[in-house]
Amino acid sequence: MVYLTPEELGWKPFVKTWIYTFFKGYELMPDVCKEHLWMLFEYTVDPALEFIRANCKEPIVTTDLQ
């Protein structure tokens, strides 16, 4: 068994699991919509995190999972 901390995994496994488990069985959320939602997360989250880390001050330091 290999243990990885959440910091080593990053945000992607958590979001992908959330999309495919939370919306499981929803008729209003077909697989094509789930894939589109995942694509939107992939497209926006990393650039947003980079911007925050480079240009913003955080009163309370956060990790990428928060």
Per DSSP, the chain holds a count of helices (H) and strands (E) of: 3, 0
Q: Tell which residue, 1, 21, 26, 6, has the closest CA to residue 66.
A: 6
* Cα-Cα-Cα-Cα dihedral sign, residues 33, 15, 51, 59: positive
The overall pTM is greater than 0.85 = no
Q: How confident is the model at residue 64 (pLDDT cuts 50, 70, 90)?
A: confident
Report pLDDT digits (tens) over 6-60.
677 888 988 998 888 888 776 778 888 889 999 999 999 999 999 998 999 989 9
The structural domains of the chain, with segments of one domain joined by +, span 24-59
